[in-house]
């Protein structure tokens, strides 16, 4: 009988292949005494492992394609730097000599000592760097015990076409595994909105996360089917199931190939309604992918990535240079620059080591953090305004929740405008300012935001997190993540209606906008601007072109009137089959 393992599909598509298990979870090591005359050999063995680890990581670094986001390569550089640091190269040697113990044990003792130091740090960002130490230590330990390496240790032949099953994968490992030709991956932990998930989607790789306990149920070498669209991994499948999945895979391949013709076609529905189809980007290089996919512009540029993976804060000039590079790269297409959405899981260097919040996602995040720390915010506002002199730039404020907050932000922007005017620095005085609706309070009072802003954008990732009270990075509750929950749909509808009432454009830039299963639902709700990952753009455009909004509206109204998940699911199926 076939075995079905469920998780969260974070991209779509089907992969069929052999299982390749990556042992990325904790490594058990034990203490062994070393005779005094053998200490020299043990130290040499440890140093050889460090050299091998460096070689492995350099190979990983060289194998990563140039198009890989810079923060991923920086991540590997950080690990390489750690392998040069005396805390990992010299201290364990001292421990081997003092304690006459094996290298593995010495390294473990040093790791535990570092963990204690990191634990006592007030700065939440620095505390998260312990994860990097753990990754590097695990790599060295695997070399010492001669076990299977984390990503980067296998030959391409072993991995080509394989479905990797791991406890968890870092974004860097994901990029490398993709380069090594894996067909897809399944991880026990992780949520659909993690950095690894966003990367898998950008790379168009079928993947499932948050499956829990997969490794006990799946054996190395088993042939499995990974159906990311359904979020399932099937093992022990019959020949006829395999055949049917191969057919589905071919059909999907064929239809994706056919979508290329849509690159230069307009996003217009069958009944002639024009839809703006924009792209989400995190890094400057994503802009090329957005242009290649034929995006009408950028609907979400996540600037906080500029502040992450570094020990300092980019100043106004550095930010300006970055924004201008993106604006110029777009050659006249519009861009929506979101002010930094730092805080919660997105740590940055100079957050002053403030107390660690009990609920970081409900704490000083995004605009709250910016208004509290205007020293950090002002240079960004200046840089965005200055960039607006060179192209069609819109500014977007994340996580707004009240009128007071909105007024304070708008006053600050006004103040910066006057400052730049006074200095004779060029900027677009009419640069549109918009806000993200991602807190239920903001959705419920969307008219307030629509009255005062030039545009709204619905951030469903957070709107769902806050509406359903599910931490988006906690995989134990991702099973509750449900864009079709009646509460979520009603909030979305309220925001769209508020925009229509005040004639303010409403866009959606959360992941829901990039999932073609929901395109018709959103069209029928009146959404006319979508901002999606570049890899999802053509599929969404295809659905738009094959839809007649007038036919969608009655079914969508039935969906909105229902509070029965089964009925909503069935109606959505009917909508997508129209
Ligand atoms: C969202 O919350 O939907 C969103 C687009 O913002 P982010 O995912 O960056 O929080
Ligand atoms: Mg958000």
Stretch 446-464: mean pLDDT: 97
- Check residue 69 and give its pLDDT: 59
The Cα-based distances of 67 to 78, 172, 395 in angstroms read: 19, 13, 27
Kindly report the protein residue whose alpha carbon is nearest to atom 7 of ligand 1: 461
CA dihedral sign, ordered 201, 203, 205, 210: negative
Lowest mean pLDDT segment, chosen from 25-39, 42-56, 219-233, 559-573: 25-39
Alpha-carbon distance of 353 to 359, in angstroms, equals: 16
Kindly report the protein residue whose alpha carbon is nearest to atom 9 of ligand 1: 302
- Check residue 353 and give its pLDDT: 46
- Check residue 576 and give its pLDDT: 96
Q: Name the most confidently modeled range: 34-38, 167-171, 192-196, 469-473.
A: 34-38
303 lines ligand 1 (CB under 6 A): no
Residues with CB under 5 A from ligand 2 (ion): 438, 459, 462
CB of 512 closer than 8 Å to CB of 460: yes
CA dihedral sign, ordered 346, 351, 353, 359: negative
Residues 6+ apart with CB under 8 A from 51: none
The pairing of strands 223-227 and 232-235 is antiparallel
> Which residues are annotated as catalytic?
195, 509
Alpha-carbon distance of 559 to 562, in angstroms, equals: 5
182: closest CA among 190, 174, 193? 174
Stretch 336-363: mean pLDDT: 74
Strand blocks (E) in 120-191? 163-166, 184-187
Tokens read off for 481: 């993540």
74: closest CA among 290, 329, 283, 330? 283
461 lines ligand 1 (CB under 6 A): yes
Lowest mean pLDDT segment, chosen from 116-125, 202-211, 523-532: 116-125
CA of 399 to the centre of ligand 2 (A): 7
Kindly report the protein residue whose alpha carbon is nearest to atom 8 of ligand 1: 461
Chain centre distance of CA 411: 32
Residue with tokens 């089907």: 14
Ligand with smallest separation from the Cα of 304: 1
Residues 6+ apart with CB under 8 A from 250: none
Tokens read off for 322: 């970055």
Alpha-carbon distance of 380 to 397, in angstroms, equals: 12
- Axis-axis angle for helices 549-561, 486-501 (nearest 10): 130
184: closest CA among 158, 156, 210, 165? 165
User: Residues in the chain, how many?
Assistant: 578
pTM tops 0.85, yes or no: no
Ligand with smallest separation from the Cα of 509: 1
Tokens read off for 178: 């993709």
> Residue 289: pLDDT band by 50, 70, 90 thresholds?
confident
CA of 438 to the centre of ligand 1 (A): 8
The pairing of strands 3-6 and 276-281 is unpaired
83: closest CA among 61, 65, 66? 61
CB of 387 closer than 8 Å to CB of 393: yes
282 lines ligand 1 (CB under 6 A): no
Question: At 445, which helix (H) or strand (E)?
Answer: none
Q: What is the pLDDT of residues 293-317, one digit of tens each?
A: 899 999 999 998 888 756 688 999 9
Residue with tokens 């473990």: 108
Alpha-carbon distance of 323 to 86, in angstroms, equals: 38
CA of 326 to the centre of ligand 1 (A): 20
The pairing of strands 276-281 and 8-9 is unpaired
Q: What is the pLDDT of residues 90-99, one digit of tens each?
A: 999 999 999 9
460 lines ligand 1 (CB under 6 A): yes
CB of 173 closer than 8 Å to CB of 153: no
> Residue 472: pLDDT band by 50, 70, 90 thresholds?
confident
Alpha-carbon distance of 113 to 196, in angstroms, equals: 29
Chain centre distance of CA 442: 23
184 lines ligand 1 (CB under 6 A): no
- Across the strands, what pairs with 507? 457
Q: Which of 201, 341, 459 to mutate to test the pocket of ligand 1 (most atoms within 8 A of CB)?
A: 459
Alpha-carbon distance of 344 to 307, in angstroms, equals: 14
- Check residue 151 and give its pLDDT: 52
Residues 6+ apart with CB under 8 A from 154: 20, 148, 180
CA of 514 to the centre of ligand 2 (A): 15
Residue 213 has pLDDT above 80, yes or no: no
Tokens read off for 392: 């069609």
- Which atom of ligand 1 is found nearest the CA of 511? 3
Chain centre distance of CA 243: 33
Tokens read off for 302: 């996540």
Query: Higher-confidence residue: 144 or 383?
Result: 383
Alpha-carbon distance of 98 to 86, in angstroms, equals: 17
531 lines ligand 1 (CB under 6 A): no
> Residue 398: pLDDT band by 50, 70, 90 thresholds?
very high
DSSP assignment of 3-54: EEEE-EE-S--EEEEEEEEE--S-------B--GGGHHHHHHHHHHHHHHHH
CA of 68 to the centre of ligand 2 (A): 23
Alpha-carbon distance of 499 to 455, in angstroms, equals: 8
Three-state DSSP state, 181: coil
- Which atom of ligand 1 is found nearest the CA of 461? 3
> Residue 283: pLDDT band by 50, 70, 90 thresholds?
confident
- Check residue 154 and give its pLDDT: 53
CB count in 10 Å sphere of residue 403: 13
CA of 344 to the centre of ligand 1 (A): 12
């Amino acid at each position: 009988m076939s075995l079905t393992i469920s998780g969260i599909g974070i991209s779509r598509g089907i992969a069929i292949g052999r299982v390749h298990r990556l042992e990325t979870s904790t490594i058990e090591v034990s203490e062994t005494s070393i005779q005094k005359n053998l200490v020299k050999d043990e130290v040499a063995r440890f140093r050889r492992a460090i050299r091998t680890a460096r070689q492995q990581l350099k190979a990983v670094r060289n194998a990563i394609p140039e198009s890989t986001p810079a923060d991923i390569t920086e991540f590997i550089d950080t690990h390489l730097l750690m392998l040069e640091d005396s805390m990992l190269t010299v201290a364990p040697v001292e421990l081997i000599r003092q304690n006459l113990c094996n290298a593995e044990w010495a390294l473990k003792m040093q790791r535990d000592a570092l963990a204690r130091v990191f634990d006592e740090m007030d700065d939440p960002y620095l505390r998260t760097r312990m994860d990097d130490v753990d990754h590097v230590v695990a790599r060295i330990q695997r070399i010492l015990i001669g076990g299977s390496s984390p990503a980067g240790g296998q030959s391409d032949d072993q991995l080509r076409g394989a479905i990797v099953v791991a406890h968890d994968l870092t974004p860097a490992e994901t990029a490398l595994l993709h380069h090594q030709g894996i067909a897809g991956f399944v991880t026990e932990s992780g949520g659909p909105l993690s950095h690894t998930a966003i990367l898998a989607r950008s790379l168009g790789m079928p993947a499932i996360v948050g499956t829990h306990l997969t490794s006990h149920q799946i054996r190395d070498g088993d042939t499995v089917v990974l159906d990311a669209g359904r979020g399932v991994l099937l093992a022990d499948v019959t020949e006829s199931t395999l055949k049917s999945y191969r057919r589905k895979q071919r059909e999907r391949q064929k239809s994706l190939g056919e979508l290329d013709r849509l690159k230069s076609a307009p996003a217009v529905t069958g009944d002639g309604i024009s839809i703006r189809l924009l792209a989400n980007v995190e890094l400057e290089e994503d802009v090329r992918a957005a242009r290649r996919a034929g995006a009408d512009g950028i609907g979400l540029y996540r600037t906080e990535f500029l502040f992450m993976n570094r020990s300092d804060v980019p100043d106004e000039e550095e930010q300006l240079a970055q924004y201008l590079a993106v604006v110029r790269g777009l050659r006249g297409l519009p861009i929506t620059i979101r002010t930094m959405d730092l805080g919660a899981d997105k740590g940055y260097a100079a957050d002053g080591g403030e107390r660690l919040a009990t609920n970081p996602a409900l704490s000083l995040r995004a605009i709250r953090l910016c208004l509290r720390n205007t020293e950090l915010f002002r240079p960004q506002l200046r840089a965005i305004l200055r960039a607006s002199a060179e192209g069609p730039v819109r500014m977007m404020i994340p996580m707004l929740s009240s009128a007071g907050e909105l007024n304070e932000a708008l006053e600050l922007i006004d103040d910066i405008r006057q400052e730049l005017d006074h200095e004779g620095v060029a900027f677009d005085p009419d640069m549109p300012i918009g806000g993200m609706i991602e807190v239920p309070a903001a959705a419920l009072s969307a008219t307030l935001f629509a009255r005062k802003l030039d545009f709204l954008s619905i951030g469903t990732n957070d709107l769902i997190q806050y509406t359903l009270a599910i931490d988006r990075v906690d995989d134990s509750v991702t099973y509750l993540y449900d864009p079709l929950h009646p509460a979520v749909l009603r909030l979305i509808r309220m925001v769209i209606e508020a925009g229509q009432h005040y004639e303010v454009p409403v866009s959606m830039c959360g992941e829901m906008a990039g999932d073609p299963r929901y395109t018709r639902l959103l069209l029928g709700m009146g959404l006319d601007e979508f901002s999606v990952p570049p890899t999802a753009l053509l599929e969404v455009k295809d659905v738009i072109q094959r839809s007649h909004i007038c036919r969608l509206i009655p079914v969508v109204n039935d969906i909105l009137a229902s509070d029965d998940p089964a009925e909503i699911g069935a109606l959505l199926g009917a909508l997508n089959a129209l």
